[in-house]
Each structure stands twice: as structure tokens, then as C-alpha cells.
Amino acid sequence: MPVLGWLAGRTVVELIADYDHWVAFAMLAIVSGRMLWESFRPERSQGKEVDITRGLLLITLSIATSIDALAVGLSFAFLNLNIALASPTIGVVAFVVTIIGFKLGRRAGQVIGKRAEAIGGIILLAIGLRILLSHILQ
């Protein structure tokens, strides 16, 4: 999906080159805003565990992850990053983080909980602001 997003971005980069930093910022702000919103929402089902490996929830999470990856690839095109290096790096890092997540997820979830999602949202927003400010202050 990052490669497809990058290809889409390469085709429209000349059309939006003057405001690509705003597009990248907006996409990152939307994703980070969603993460922050979810981190502060009250739990829907207290004490009831949800199995994310089955059914409609799995499909929804898969689509959302794919859209996020597509948006990242689109941002890479706007930022002129090397997709041949970035895409395998994303794959390797995602694999390693997934394995670590499986190993530490339950324990860390009890300690960190929803704060991890808020921290991730803040980091994404900071990255978006950095992109925006680096283009505005040039």
C-alpha cells in the first residue's frame, strides 16, 4: 500500500507541489486526531475482551491499516523519499514491532493502556507540524 500511495502521489505531485506540505500535514493530523479521540473515549465494554482476529472487526482494522499505509506512501511521494528503501524498511519494522507487540502487549497494555494511543497521536501530529513548518519557514 505505501508503494501504491507513492505511485499515486508521483502522478499528482506537480499539480499540488505548491501546497503538498499542507496535504501531508492534513493527512497526519487526521490520523493523529483519530488516535487522540480514541484514546480519550470511554471503553465500550468494561471487562469484556474483544477478539480482533475474527469477523467484521478484523476486516475494518485491515482496511484502516491499508488506508494509513496508502496515506504514508502518498506523503512519501510529496516529500521525495526513496520508496525502494522506505517500503522494505516499513515491512521489516512492522514485522519486528508486531513480534515485540505480541510478546509485550498484554503486560504493557495493563500498565500503559490508552495512553500509548495518545502518545502515538501526539508524535504523528508533531511530525506533521515539522513537515508544515519546514516548508513554511524555507
State residue 23's pLDDT score.
78
Mean pLDDT, range 50-67, rounded to an integer? 67
State residue 94's pLDDT score.
87
Mean pLDDT, range 34-44, rounded to an integer? 77
Band (4; pLDDT cuts 50, 70, 90): confident
Contacts of 20 (CB under 8 A, 6+ apart): 13, 78, 79, 135
Most confident of 88-97, 107-116, 129-138: 88-97
State residue 114's pLDDT score.
67
Task: Select the more confidently predicted residue: 106 or 31.
Answer: 31
pTM of the model: 0.56
Structural contact between residues 5 and 73, judged by C-beta atoms closer than 8 angstroms: yes
